[in-house]
């Protein structure tokens, strides 16, 4: 079974995350890795701050990109400076502790990494989406999942929401999962509260 592993978002704690992702995912599946991440040399020495305004990483190392390439040997990778997303449309009906900028950034990166996978022209039996800092606590073998459905962690605190930190499913379903960025404004205008998990649900 051929698996595409799509890693996106800020390059937080790359080496530490790899110590979980490598034994519990990459070694257990026939994987190609696709990566989209935000990168600017001005990040070096700084920490990433999460949506809750907490420090979410160790200081960023100057060799972060080369470390990513060395560890993951990606089939395709794209990095770019952080886009300054316009959040002026998202001022009402926003859940507490949700920052539209962080949400737009995350969903854009997830969309771009799925685009990289599609642009490769390769076919995959399963597609997995996760972040660099996702600490997999148990083994993931794609063959163990019913890929007719998208499987996500069962820990979303919002009724009707879907956890957005990890997902596995067939490529066709994951294409839809990964394209949320392009639907956010329409969903929000239709009355869905601005909350990552509810927009995904």
CATH of the domain at 75: 3.90.550
- Residue, of 32 and 162, whose pLDDT is higher: 32
Rounded CA separation 15/36 (Å): 16
**Helix (H) / strand (E) containing 65:** helix 64-72
Express each pLDDT in 179-194 by its tens digit. Answer: 999 999 999 999 998 9
Host domain of residue 161: 2-200
Contact between 137 and 170 (Cβ < 8 Å): no
Mean pLDDT of 78-98: 90
pTM of model > 0.85: yes
Rounded CA separation 127/32 (Å): 10
| Tally of domains within the chain | 1
* Phi, psi (degrees; rounded to nearest 5) at 14: -60, -50
Q: Specify the pairing of strand 76-80 against strand 167-169.
A: unpaired
Express each pLDDT in 100-138 by its tens digit. Answer: 999 999 999 999 999 999 999 999 999 999 999 999 999
Average pLDDT of the chain is: 93
């Amino acid at each position: 079974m051929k698996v595409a592993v799509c890693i996106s978002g800020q390059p937080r704690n790359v080496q530490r995350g790899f110590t979980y992702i490598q034994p519990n995912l990459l070694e257990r599946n026939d994987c190609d890795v696709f990566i989209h991440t935000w990168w600017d040399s001005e990040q070096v020495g700084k920490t990433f701050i999460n949506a809750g305004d907490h420090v979410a990483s160790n200081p960023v190392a100057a060799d972060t990109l080369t470390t990513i390439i060395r560890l993951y040997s990606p089939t395709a990778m794209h990095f770019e400076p952080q886009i300054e997303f316009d959040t002026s449309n998202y001022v009402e009906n926003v859940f507490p502790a949700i920052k539209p900028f962080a949400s737009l950034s995350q969903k854009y990166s997830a969309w771009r990494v799925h685009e990289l996978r599609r642009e490769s022209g390769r076919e995959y039996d399963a597609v997995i989406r996760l972040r660099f800092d996702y600490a997999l606590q148990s083994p993931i073998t794609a063959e163990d999942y019913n890929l007719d459905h998208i499987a996500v962690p069962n820990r979303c605190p919002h009724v009707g929401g879907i956890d957005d930190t990890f997902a596995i499913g067939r490529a066709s379903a994951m294409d839809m999962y990964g394209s949320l960025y392009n639907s956010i404004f329409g969903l929000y205008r239709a009355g869905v509260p601005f909350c990552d998990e509810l927009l995904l649900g």
